Structures are given as structure tokens and as C-alpha cells.
Amino acid sequence: GQWCTRVPLICFGTAEWHLPDRCLRQFGREQCIPLEVPDSQRTFHGRDGWQGTRDWPTKLAKFIMMWDNRQMQDIVTPIQVG
């Protein structure tokens, strides 16, 4: 499902990481050691003054490409036992 995909969630001028590998036990999955948190750049959060710009697709192109390839970022773990 989409809930187990480690990707940036994009809403116009803002993007935030969805990191399901940090809360797998809540979904009945075996908890592994989480991967490193991706680098949060100022432009990633839109805090450099361009958040209201109409050119957000260009500014967030790297993260849009990650979203388009989200099936490659699925977190697959066994169901938790016990």
C-alpha cells in the first residue's frame, strides 16, 4: 500500500517526508532500524521565500521525480509476531 512508501509528500510549494519505517509497529509490522532521515534542505520546506511562487514544479522537480518513482521506495517488512 501507499502507506509503506518512503517518499516526499508534495503540496504546491511545500514538501515533507513520509517516513513509515519509523512507525512500522503501529501497523502490525516488524520494526527494523530506520533508515537515515533524508536531508531537509531549506528549499524542500519552502522557507526561503518562494513558497507562494507559481514555479513550484521546477523548484521541487527532484522531489516530484521521487514521488513518480514511489513504487521503488516501498518499505517491505514481515508481519510482527508476538
Contact (Cβ atoms closer than 8 angstroms) between residue 78 and residue 30: yes
Percent share of the chain, pLDDT over 70: 79
Radius of gyration of the CA atoms of the chain, in A:
15
Residue 71 confidence class, pLDDT cut points 50, 70, 90: confident
pTM of the model: 0.64
Comparing 9-13, 33-37, 46-50, 69-73, the range with the smallest average pLDDT is 46-50
Per-residue pLDDT of 47-67, as tens digits, reads 555 555 677 788 888 888 988
Q: Name, in order, each residue with C-beta under 8 angstroms of 34's C-beta and a sequence gap of 6 or more.
A: 19, 21, 22
Cell of 3: 502507506
Contact (Cβ atoms closer than 8 angstroms) between residue 57 and residue 80: no
